[in-house]
Amino acid sequence: MPMDDNKTFSSSPKAGTSRREGGLLELLRTIVIAGVLAISVRTVLFEPFNIPSASMIPTLQVGDYVWVAKYSYGYSRFSLPGSPNLFEGRIFNSLPHRGDVAVFRFTKDTSIDYIKRIVGLPGDVIQMRMGRLYLNGQEVPREPEGEYVAIDEHRTHMEGDRYREILPGSGGHGPVAHDILKLTDEGGKNDTPEYVVPPGYFFAMGDNRDDSADSRFMGDEPQDLGFVPMENLVGQAKWIFMSVDGAHPFWQFWYWPAEIRWNRLFMGVR
Distance CA 67, CA 260 (A): 17
Q: Cβ neighbours of residue 60 under 8 Å, at least 6 residues apart?
A: 51, 66, 101, 115, 207, 237, 240, 269
Distance CA 59, CA 62 (A): 10
Burial category of 30 from C-beta neighbours within 10 Å (exposed 0-12, middle 13-18, buried 19 and up): exposed
Distance CA 243, CA 61 (A): 8
Quick one: which of 185, 126, 135 has its CA closest to 160? 185
Distance CA 99, CA 85 (A): 29
| Coil, helix or strand at residue 268 | strand
Catalytic residue among 53, 55, 76, 170: 55
First to last CA, the chain: 80
Catalytic site includes residue 116: yes
Catalytic site includes residue 55: yes
Pairing state of beta strands 113-120 and 267-268?
A: unpaired
Distance CA 104, CA 80 (A): 13
CA-atom Rg of the chain in angstroms: 25
* DSSP characters over 109-165: -TTSEEEEEEEE-TT-EEEEETTEEEETTEEPPEEEEEEEEEE-TT--EEEEEEEEE
Catalytic residue among 70, 116, 182, 189: 116
Where in the sequence numbering do the catalytic residues fall?
A: 55, 116
